[in-house]
Chain A
Amino acid sequence: MKNLITSIFIALFASFPLLGQEKLDEILPIRGICLSSPNPDGVDKFVNFIKDELVPLKVNTLVILIDYGYQFKSHPELTDENALSTEDVKKIVQVCREGGIRIIPQINLLGHQSWFQSIGQLLKAYPEFNETPHVPMEGGSTDLKWPNEWGLYCLSYCPLHPEVHDVVFDAVDEIVEVFEANAFHAGMDEVFYLGDDKCPRCQGRDKAELFAGEVTKIRNHLAQKNVELWIWGDRLLDGRTTGIGFWEASYNNTHRAIDMIPKDVVINDWHYERPDPTAAYFALKGFKVITCPWRFPEITKTQLHMMVNLKKDATPAVKDNYHGMLHTTWTSADNFIEEYYGRKEVNTGRGGNYVEAFKVLFEEINKLNE
């Protein structure tokens, strides 16, 4: 009898944390962080951070910003200096698997093909893919500042160039495979250069159709292997009508693309300075949506509660569309870890503190379980 009671007790006790986990998975299927990929010599620290901090905080999703920081076998010409080896990646994959964390690797497609004066590996190796080859990246723009006379934030590749997908899909496939991922993040945020008037292929085309066409092409490629596509949501929001502006929403007439892309594309809806309720907009349009905060703890907290409440009151058709939260960091992984442990000070230059916001978000998330 004593043994029976003990085993019932143990069984009950053991099932409580499990119940808690299930409840949290139901309320907030995605509890994520978006981090830059580490340098090869920072991999061990990165792996430890995952094990020691992310797993105990019940983080279950890691979007890792790879771009060309991997030693591509299919296209060595795309590989950055200081890129991760297959072995490095496997260490990250293993720690995530052990910790129940889903990894989603990101390579920026379409936009973000340059950063200040530095041209990304894709357009360096294939200058013919550049949507705006007439914008001077050298000489004239060596002291490039924003705003500038070319409206240059980042270069884009031309989505209608007949060869561009042969190259980028090779890289995408390779990165999905090495990360053993079932989802891929294509970025696609802040695409200002699109349908350029001087591009012989894109000139005069509808920018919403160009954007939707590229999203759909990437989605269809991934869908052949049952890999989910994640993108940032900004190009699908009307920046003027919503007042959200031209970074977190679109001033270049791409927003109608929301009615042209497949509904299984997962939207990462980022807003940093206000808790914009755009999750409702995406969810009601039929998309899975994840709200992405950054640097203000109070806003992050409001965004979490908005997400949870929207889900609570949603119709059955829409409930699952409220998918959760993905915290963004926008600094190197090494910086973030150093700042997290207080060995370095956070300085965003724009107010707020992304380390504090991250900590607040996961404190609040863990309270949901109670």
Chain B
Amino acid sequence: MNNLIDMKNPFFILSITLFINQNVLAQENLDKVLPVRGICMSAPDPDGLDQFIDFINDELVPRKANTLVIRIGNKYQYKSHPELASENALSKSDVKKIVKACEKGNIRIIPQINLLGHQSSRNRLGNLLKAYPQFDETPHINMPEEYVWPNPDNLYCKSYCPLHPEVHKVVFDVVDEIVKAFKADAFHAGMDEVFYLGDDKCPRCQGRDKAELFAGEVSKIRNHLAQNNIELWIWGDRLLDGRTTGIGLWEASYNNTYRAIDMIPKDVVINDWHYERPDPTAVYFALKGFKVITCPWRFPDVTKTQLDIMVNLKKYATPAVKDNYQGMLHTIWTGSENFINQFYGREEVNSSRGGNWVEAFKTLFDEINKLDPDQYLEYEIK
């Protein structure tokens, strides 16, 4: 039996070489079919950092995840603007640990700070508007003591005013700092579910075209990042017409922002999130010239169909569009500690809206690892 591991045997060496080549080739082909295989998680608390890093090493890397969108927001000890940091914020050395684990595992990190919208959550005002109340797009709307949706103010989250002359000076400082701390080549600005925009009482925005306001802000952020060759990622919902598509007011727009799709630079990467149906909106973004990533959440079957749609669209695409079908980003909308505990069965997943994001995540990556990339690379007319 020892002969089998006979290093002198040329066939052994040959077969090892072949084996390695095949693996490299398979990896390369997977990268071609699905360039982005990601997960979007919230940043951990400092005391959850080790668990977070173990999860990257033990679960994400072996599953061939290659992208981590990490939602930072206020959870970093900003030096440029200490007033924006939350109490439980990560230090620079905490971040370095995450960066190192990801570097080692070939995972691209994309830090997220919500710009424009999501400047409050339920009844809590975010740090930006706490420190700079003058940036509030709707200062006449008071934060409620108890939050309920729907409410008469139509308050989901506050926004900053994109035309306030000082706002970008502040937010771009923290964007630059976080990009640098994460050594990132892409930044995620969120920009989803922006309901407060072009408010009738805002002295700067009143009467303006909301699609132009939204596109203006996207372009401004993109242009700022482009100076340092940093890519901009955003959620895609404001660029879809919620009524005509029937997709609704969350995953698409009811506030007339959707025409912005024809006004923003084509190098903005679209994170197209749909959780309850496998909407084929990737086609829409790709044919408009954008790189698009489909983002599932909590239904394993829907997630599976979304992956299937993505790889088949790529398979049949014209050369001009093929690369626009970029891949999949699984979203987790619970704390990363919760998610990791749920992943290991130490805590139960309890989605009040049905489904199971842990199962959906596992299904997605099982299916990704089952893909035969060659099947999607070559397409010939028969």
Residues of A within 8 A of B (CB): 237-238, 240-244, 256, 259, 263, 273-278, 280-281, 284-286, 296-299, 302, 310, 313-318, 351-352
- Can you give 27 contacting A-B residue pairs, CB < 8 Å? A240-B320, A241-B320, A241-B321, A242-B320, A242-B321, A243-B317, A243-B318, A243-B319, A263-B244, A274-B318, A277-B283, A277-B313, A280-B280, A280-B281, A280-B283, A281-B287, A284-B240, A284-B241, A286-B241, A286-B244, A296-B382, A298-B381, A299-B381, A313-B278, A313-B280, A315-B277, A352-B381
Extra pairs beyond A241-B320, A298-B382 (20, CB < 8 Å): A237-B287, A238-B288, A241-B288, A241-B321, A242-B320, A243-B317, A244-B318, A274-B316, A274-B318, A276-B318, A277-B280, A278-B287, A284-B280, A284-B284, A296-B382, A299-B381, A315-B247, A315-B277, A317-B243, A318-B245
Q: Which of B276-299 contact A (CB under 8 A)?
A: 277-281, 283-284, 287-289
Give the total of B residues in contact with A, Cβ under 8 Å. 30
Residues in chain A near residue B277, CB distance under 8 A: 313, 315
Complex Cα spacing A315 to B274, Å: 12
B305 contacts the other chain (CB 8 A): yes
The 3 closest A-B pairs by CB, nearest first: A317-B246, A243-B320, A243-B318
Complex Cα spacing A299 to B315, Å: 13
Min distance, Cβ B382 to any Cβ of chain A, angstroms: 4
B318 pairs with A242, CB closer than 8 A? yes
Known: A284-B245, A284-B284, A313-B279. A277 touches B316 (CB 8 A): yes
Residues in chain A near residue B319, CB distance under 8 A: 243
Nearest CB to that of A275 among chain B residues?
B316
Known: A273-B381, A280-B283, A298-B381. A315 touches B321 (CB 8 A): no
B284 pairs with A315, CB closer than 8 A? no
Nearest CB to that of A278 among chain B residues?
B287
Residues in chain B near residue A274, CB distance under 8 A: 316, 318, 379, 381
Complex Cα spacing A296 to B281, Å: 27
Total residue contacts A-B, CB cutoff 8 A: 83
Nearest CB to that of B284 among chain A residues?
A284
Complex Cα spacing A256 to B246, Å: 22
- B237-251 interface bits toward A, Cβ cutoff 8 Å, 1 = contact, 0 = none: 000110111110000
B280 pairs with A317, CB closer than 8 A? no
Complex Cα spacing A256 to B318, Å: 20
Complex Cα spacing A342 to B268, Å: 54
Complex Cα spacing A256 to B381, Å: 30
Q: Which of B162-193 contact A (CB under 8 A)?
A: none
Complex Cα spacing A285 to B319, Å: 24
Min distance, Cβ A368 to any Cβ of chain B, angstroms: 19
Complex Cα spacing A48 to B319, Å: 44
Residues in chain B near residue A278, CB distance under 8 A: 283, 287
Nearest CB to that of A297 among chain B residues?
B382
A351 pairs with B288, CB closer than 8 A? no
Complex Cα spacing A314 to B379, Å: 26
Min distance, Cβ A356 to any Cβ of chain B, angstroms: 11
Complex Cα spacing A297 to B382, Å: 8
Nearest CB to that of B244 among chain A residues?
A286
Residues in chain A near residue B278, CB distance under 8 A: 313
A315 pairs with B245, CB closer than 8 A? yes
Complex Cα spacing A34 to B240, Å: 34
Listed residue (B277, B317, B319) with the most chain A CB atoms within 10 angstroms of its CB: B317
Residues in chain A near residue B262, CB distance under 8 A: 256
**Pick from A238, A256, A316: contact of B287, CB under 8 Å:** A238
A241 pairs with B246, CB closer than 8 A? no
Min distance, Cβ A261 to any Cβ of chain B, angstroms: 14
Complex Cα spacing A242 to B382, Å: 22
Complex Cα spacing A259 to B244, Å: 12
Complex Cα spacing A315 to B279, Å: 8
Q: Which of B351-367 contact A (CB under 8 A)?
A: none
Known: A242-B320, A243-B319. A280 touches B381 (CB 8 A): no
Min distance, Cβ A15 to any Cβ of chain B, angstroms: 32
A285 pairs with B244, CB closer than 8 A? yes
Complex Cα spacing A268 to B243, Å: 23
Min distance, Cβ B143 to any Cβ of chain A, angstroms: 34
B244 pairs with A281, CB closer than 8 A? no
Residues in chain A near residue B284, CB distance under 8 A: 280-281, 284
Complex Cα spacing A90 to B278, Å: 46
Listed residue (A286, A299, A315) with the most chain B CB atoms within 10 angstroms of its CB: A315
Min distance, Cβ B222 to any Cβ of chain A, angstroms: 18
Nearest CB to that of A301 among chain B residues?
B382
Residues in chain A near residue B245, CB distance under 8 A: 284, 315, 317-318
Complex Cα spacing A1 to B232, Å: 76
A315 pairs with B246, CB closer than 8 A? yes
Nearest CB to that of A256 among chain B residues?
B262
B316 pairs with A276, CB closer than 8 A? yes
**Pick from A240, A244, A314, A351: contact of B381, CB under 8 Å:** A351
A316 pairs with B246, CB closer than 8 A? yes
Residues in chain A near residue B283, CB distance under 8 A: 277-278, 280-281, 284
- B309-342 interface bits toward A, Cβ cutoff 8 Å, 1 = contact, 0 = none: 0000100111111000000000000000000000
Residues in chain A near residue B241, CB distance under 8 A: 284, 286
Residues in chain A near residue B382, CB distance under 8 A: 296-298
Residues in chain A near residue B321, CB distance under 8 A: 241-243
Complex Cα spacing A238 to B318, Å: 13
Nearest CB to that of B280 among chain A residues?
A280
Min distance, Cβ B311 to any Cβ of chain A, angstroms: 13
Min distance, Cβ A79 to any Cβ of chain B, angstroms: 40
Listed residue (B280, B313, B320, B382) with the most chain A CB atoms within 10 angstroms of its CB: B280
Complex Cα spacing A302 to B312, Å: 11
B287 pairs with A241, CB closer than 8 A? yes
Residues in chain B near residue A240, CB distance under 8 A: 320
